[in-house]
Amino acid sequence: MLLKINDLSGGYGSKKVLHHINISVHQGELVGLIGLNGAGKSTTIKHILGLLPVKSGEILINGVSLEQDEQMYRKQVAYIPEQPMLYEQLTLREHLRLMAQGYAVEEKQAQERIEHYAARLRMTKQLEWFPSVFSKGMKQKAMILCALITGSELLIVDEPFVGLDPLAIRELLTIFSELKADGKGILMSTHILETAERHCNRFILLNEGQIAAEGTTQELRQRYELSNGSLDDIYVAAIEEAER
């Protein structure tokens, strides 16, 4: 199992946001993390990335926790944040070199990945640009490139489609499919349920820091007795049930 979260409780300082959650992501799997604003999606992601300390429970990536081997843990996970955060003083190509170097990617392989993914996301021309002249969509593509260049086993993705043009969304989804076929795992937080329904293998629905529902679209339909219901319908039903 690529990502295993066991009985995780956590949050910011003394404020507890997550309550005993269990999540798993297998190799070759795209898991959708969905929930209302403030449900705990971003907090979960920050815990996985080691940006917030775990209060109780454990997070393992390929059986390794952050405390056991920080370098090994971090090397196996890459992140695409919702808000693009780039170094103002580095060009896009320099960002990609830095990420490749920092994730111990071979130089030749890094060069190949840079050219390959930049071309696919139509960013070749922008490789020598500074982020200050990027549009919002370009910044988001730059963050996607930074994550893809690492070749990490697990990709954590937070609202990846915000600001992207339709062609880029389509290409990103194709890349996700290829990564899955290559045995990588992806945990994706999103509010775009229609796209998620078509591409995710499973869903985890968070509500107030707890897992309200979990499973494939088919399993969730059975669970909420919505035989022809879309993920939208399931989502609404799950939230209503959780709030009752």
Residue number with CB closer to another protein (107 or 178): 107
DSSP codes of every residue in 152-208: -SEEEEESTTTT--HHHHHHHHHHHHHHHHTT-EEEEE-S-HHHHHHH-SEEEEEET
CA distance 194 to 217: 12
Residue number with CB closer to another protein (147 or 204): 147
Residue number with CB closer to another protein (103 or 235): 103
Question: How near is the Cβ of 49 to another protein at its closest, in Å?
Answer: 7
Is residue 185 within 8 A of residue 13, CB to CB? The reply is no
Is residue 29 within 8 A of residue 16, CB to CB? The reply is no
Residue number with CB closer to another protein (64 or 236): 64
Q: Which of 58, 139, 143 is nearest to 99 (CA)?
A: 143
Residue count of the chain:
244
Question: How near is the Cβ of 242 to another protein at its closest, in Å?
Answer: 31
Question: How near is the Cβ of 67 to another protein at its closest, in Å?
Answer: 15
Residues that bind another protein (CB under 8 A): 49, 51, 70-75, 78-79, 81, 85-90, 94-95, 97-104, 107, 110, 130, 132, 146
Q: Which of 181, 161, 200, 240 is nearest to 34 (CA)?
A: 200
Question: How near is the Cβ of 36 to another protein at its closest, in Å?
Answer: 24
Residue number with CB closer to another protein (146 or 187): 146
Question: How near is the Cβ of 133 to another protein at its closest, in Å?
Answer: 12
Question: How near is the Cβ of 13 to another protein at its closest, in Å?
Answer: 17
The structure tokens 């309200």 sit at 212
CA distance 172 to 164: 10
230: helix, coil or strand?
coil
Residue number with CB closer to another protein (86 or 220): 86
